[in-house]
A and B are shown apart, each in its own frame.
Chain A
Amino acid sequence: MKYTEEHEWLRVEDDLVVVGITEYAATQLGDVVFVELPEEGLEVVKDDEVVVIESVKAASDILAPLDGEIVEVNTALTDNPGLVNEDPTGAAWFFKMKLEDMSAMDDLLDEAAYKALIE
């Protein structure tokens, strides 16, 4: 698992990466009540706003962690946004991306670096 400073996690699954938000981020957001997902097939560049997530407290954006194409989104979140709080690093993945360049993953934070960031 790799991490961004924006509190996203990325997990490699075959030739794709699965993206979600960390437990820390989910706790900070509070109860999630709305998730708006991008369209499948969307080409994104790093830091594009791709997902809107609203908690009882506020709206936030989730940014594209790297350049690539959104190939699949987790529609279960649309009907059950609370999954983000229940299982942020499992069932509540947001989208799967085909990266422009898989080696860009190397520049992301590893678990130890992410843990240091949130401490």
Chain B
Amino acid sequence: MAEELNRLPLHALHAELGGKFVPFAGYEMAVQYADGVMAEHLWCREKAGLFDVSHMGQVLLPPDQAQALEALVPVDVLDLEVGRQRYGFFTNDDGGILDDLMIARRDADLFLVVNAACKAADIAHLRAHLGGVQPVEGRALLALQGPLAEAALTRMVPDAAAMRFMDVAVMTWQGAELWLSRSGYTGEDGFEISLPAENAEAFARALLEMEEVAPIGLGARDSLRLEAGLPLYGQDLSPGISPIEARLGWAVSKARRADGARAGGFPGAPRILAEMAGGALRKRVGLRPEGRAPMRAGVPLFADAEGGPGIGVVTSGGFGPSVGGPIAMGLIDSAVPDGAMVYGEVRGKRLPAAQVAIPFYKKTYKR
């Protein structure tokens, strides 16, 4: 029996905008609009793109649960200042990643944003360890991303101009309470905006009426984040991949590291801290396939053009519209020298791919 798909609060607007719908994480989502993935991607890099990410999970926690939350994530939550957010992940006892998330500290609570596919499991996990876990109902989540995002948003919400990267704030627009963060998943400057579902359509339409704002679907969301070198949970991150393998050691807060004030104390800490000190067996790398053939998730990787054992697998890959060619991220044996050519097996042929630095495409944020 086919699973019933949920619809987002803005479904009718997506349809009106020419959205082509696909099932994603239990939701019916627009993968692209009339202009297509390539045009949407480039638009977001040049101007401002509006994304509906209302499928993602929004969760509130009482402020006194900061310490209990620290027992689930390798993040300094206790010292997170009001008005700031940090990136983090729920780890498991094996040192793998259960989900990645944003943790924001606000005046009267902690606000989490988690992945749609992990939402139910995350809430159960939180409830098993924390009190007062409150999933947010009835609020949409939009993202406005791109170099003109600030110019567009501040016409409606002037105070948003004062926000720096990873700031969070509560503001109002036409009586609706907006929960803003200056962050995103595109490698561009921008904002994520949680707002009451009943105000979401008017808010989105007001943005879309602006010349520089266009709607962006899931397809370009994926190519934008891939170019920005941002890992996707379920592909580049999973319960079988440690944060150090995924090169997310930077997100393990200083206070939680081996020499920190509150070292360890999160699931899988022995492995994760040992890998931070002594290295991990595998590493996430950026790959730039030669030629034009994309190397997509699942493509096996080898050290040699012929023969030899596998060294890993592509975890995300496709075409980078701003790069102008195929790009991929893979998880490979750490023994493979940095910069060495690797080979991806595509349709029975081993094609060369250079290891390159990620992000593939870099912009500066307002800090």
A interface residues, Cβ below 8 angstroms from B: 30-31, 33-34, 36, 52, 54, 56-57, 59, 78, 81, 85
Closest to A35 in B: B292
Classify chain B's interface size: 10 to 19
Tell whether, in the assembled complex, residue B32 and residue A81 are in contact, meaning their CB atoms are under 8 Å apart.
no
| 8 Å CB contact of A33 from B31, B39, B292, B347 | B292
> Given A56-B319, A57-B31, A57-B219, are A30 and B293 neighbors across the interface (CB < 8 Å)?
no
> Given A54-B293, A59-B296, are A30 and B347 neighbors across the interface (CB < 8 Å)?
no
Residue B96, interface by CB 8 Å: no
Tell whether, in the assembled complex, residue A31 and residue B38 are in contact, meaning their CB atoms are under 8 Å apart.
yes
Tell whether, in the assembled complex, residue A56 and residue B223 are in contact, meaning their CB atoms are under 8 Å apart.
yes
Q: Which of chain B's residues have a CB closer than 8 A to the CB of A56?
A: 36-38, 219, 223, 318-319, 321
Secondary structure type dominating chain B contacts: mixed
Tell whether, in the assembled complex, residue A81 and residue B223 are in contact, meaning their CB atoms are under 8 Å apart.
no
Residue B19, interface by CB 8 Å: no
Closest chain-B Cβ to A74's Cβ sits at a distance in Å of 15
Tell whether, in the assembled complex, residue B36 and residue A30 are in contact, meaning their CB atoms are under 8 Å apart.
yes
Q: Which of chain A's residues have a CB closer than 8 A to the CB of B321?
A: 56
What 20 additional pairs, Cβ within 8 angstroms, besides A56-B321, A85-B36?
Answer: A30-B32, A30-B36, A30-B37, A30-B219, A31-B37, A31-B38, A31-B39, A33-B292, A33-B294, A33-B319, A33-B326, A34-B319, A54-B293, A54-B294, A56-B36, A56-B219, A56-B318, A57-B37, A78-B292, A81-B292
B interface residues, Cβ below 8 angstroms from A: 31-32, 36-39, 219, 223, 292-294, 296, 318-319, 321, 326, 347
Could you tell me the distance between the alpha carbons of A23 and B38 in the complex, rounded to whole angstroms?
Answer: 18
Q: Which of chain B's residues have a CB closer than 8 A to the CB of A36?
A: 293, 347
Tell whether, in the assembled complex, residue A34 and residue B326 are in contact, meaning their CB atoms are under 8 Å apart.
yes
Could you tell me the distance between the alpha carbons of A57 and B32 in the complex, rounded to whole angstroms?
Answer: 10
Could you tell me the distance between the alpha carbons of A34 and B346 in the complex, rounded to whole angstroms?
Answer: 13
Could you tell me the distance between the alpha carbons of A57 and B220 in the complex, rounded to whole angstroms?
Answer: 9
Could you tell me the distance between the alpha carbons of A33 and B326 in the complex, rounded to whole angstroms?
Answer: 9
Q: Which of chain B's residues have a CB closer than 8 A to the CB of A57?
A: 31, 37, 219
Closest chain-B Cβ to A32's Cβ sits at a distance in Å of 10
Could you tell me the distance between the alpha carbons of A59 and B317 in the complex, rounded to whole angstroms?
Answer: 12
Closest chain-A Cβ to B344's Cβ sits at a distance in Å of 13
Q: Which of chain A's residues have a CB closer than 8 A to the CB of B39?
A: 31
Q: Which of chain A's residues have a CB closer than 8 A to the CB of B294?
A: 33-34, 54, 59
Closest to A34 in B: B292
